[in-house]
Amino acid sequence: MARVHVIANQKGGVGKTTVTVNLAAVVADTLGSNVDKPSVLGVSTDPQASMLEWAERVGDALPFDFAQCHDDPGSLSKLRQFEQYDHIFVDTPGSLEDEAILQTVLAQADDVIVPLEPEPMSFSPAARSIQRVIAPSGARWRVLLNNWDPRDGEADLAQTQGFVQAKGWPVFNTVIRHYKLHARASAEGVTVVQYAKNRVALEARQDFFRLALEVLGSDGQAPRHAREADAPREA
């Protein structure tokens, strides 16, 4: 059964699409080397379809299969049954109007990644999404600090980490730093695995490799869906 990773936060501009595309690319590039049987699917459920535009610009170099599914609730409600994939990464809308789509995919989620910018204006919308929609889904969820620019100093990061800790939210150790390369990638039609071979690109890519290891777990396997783990085992 496919493991479904949902990237969610009902605030726009926090990095959902950036994280979905680059995480799917890293996992596909590492695990999906067999071209005849791609093991990774990227799904966009955002009616604004920014992942679709990005995927089209990358074209044949996209290392994972891609589907735009915002108007296909039938497929969205059975993502885990897409047996041909090991991992499915799902980008979701950044608007409250599309909450029904988000709820449909969260019901399929093995784990949820909640990108959060180190920026106080982002805290309340993230808290609302987590409390109203993400936590009640029963899926395992973790906050991901994204788009931190080390040149701005540690204060914003420390404040954000303090906020997350005070809330008692689970959080990834990996922080995705701000790089111009990430900001330009969609327009240039590349993902992290196609970045040029130089030191800055290596650093930018490294954040996504570290995140992939955390998402997949130390044994390369994501933890099973919470509800499934609770289910009685067959005798």
Ligand X SMILES: Nc1ncnc2c1ncn2[C@@H]1O[C@H](COP(=O)(O)OP(=O)(O)O)[C@@H](O)[C@H]1O
Q: Interface residues with Mg ion (CB under 5 A)?
A: 16-17, 50
The CA distance from 15 to 71, in Å, is: 22
The interface with ligand X within residues 14-53 (CB under 6 A) comprises 14-18, 50
Q: Shortest Cβ distance from residue 21 to Mg ion (Å)?
A: 9
Stretch that binds ligand X, among 12-20, 132-140, 155-163, 210-218 (CB under 6 A): 12-20
Whole-Å CA distances, 73 to 104, 223, 234? 8, 25, 31
Q: Shortest Cβ distance from residue 183 to ligand X (Å)?
A: 4
The CA distance from 2 to 114, in Å, is: 20
Nearer to ligand X, 7 or 86 (CB): 7
The CA distance from 110 to 117, in Å, is: 23
Nearer to Mg ion, 17 or 45 (CB): 17
Bridge-partner residues for 5, per DSSP? 89, 111
Radius of gyration of the chain (CA): 17
Site string for ligand X, 173-202 (x = CB under 6 A): ---x-xx--xx-------------------
The CA distance from 21 to 192, in Å, is: 9
Q: Which residues bind ligand X (CB under 6 A)?
A: 12-18, 50, 94, 146-147, 176, 178-179, 182-183
